[in-house]
Amino acid sequence: MKIIDLFKQNRPVISFEIFPPKPDVPLDTLFESIEGFKKLSPDYISVTYGAGGSQRGRTVEIASRIKNHYGIESMCHLTCVGHTAEEIDELLLQMKQENIHNVLALRGDPPLDQPDFDFSKGTFRYANELIEYINSKHDFCIAAAAYLEGHVDSKRLDEDRRYLKNKVDAGVDLLITQLFFDTRLYFDFLDRCAQLNINCPVVPGIMPIFSSRIKNMTARSGCSIPAKLVLMMDKYENNSEDLKKAGEEYAGLMIRELLDGGAPGIHLYTMNKLQSTIEIMKIAGLR
Which residues are marked as active site? 17
Considering only 84-92, 120-128, 209-217, 232-240, which stretch makes contact with ligand FAD by CB under 6 A?
120-128
Considering only 35-43, 60-68, 102-110, 272-280, which stretch makes contact with ligand FAD by CB under 6 A?
102-110
Pick from 185, 180, 184: which is nearest to 207 by CA? 180
Cα–Cα distance for residue pair 261/137, rounded to 1 Å: 38
Q: Which residues contact 46 (CB under 8 A, 6 or more apart)?
A: 15, 16, 17, 18, 63, 74, 75, 76, 77, 102, 104, 143, 267
Cα–Cα distance for residue pair 277/8, rounded to 1 Å: 25
Instruction: Identify whether the C-beta of residue 204 lies closer than 8 Å to the C-beta of residue 269.
Output: no
Q: Which is nearer to ligand FAD, 169 or 246 (CB)?
A: 169
Q: Which residues contact 282 (CB under 8 A, 6 or more apart)?
A: 252
264 sits near ligand FAD (criterion: CB under 6 A): no
77 sits near ligand FAD (criterion: CB under 6 A): yes
286 sits near ligand FAD (criterion: CB under 6 A): no
**Residue from 163, 165, 169, 273 in contact with ligand FAD (CB under 6 A):** 163
**Residue from 13, 14, 34, 48 in contact with ligand FAD (CB under 6 A):** 48
Counting residues that bind ligand FAD (by CB under 6 A) gives 23
Cα–Cα distance for residue pair 118/107, rounded to 1 Å: 13
Where on the chain is the footprint of ligand FAD (CB under 6 A)?
48-49, 51, 77, 79, 104, 106-109, 126-128, 145, 151, 153-154, 160, 163, 167, 176, 178, 205
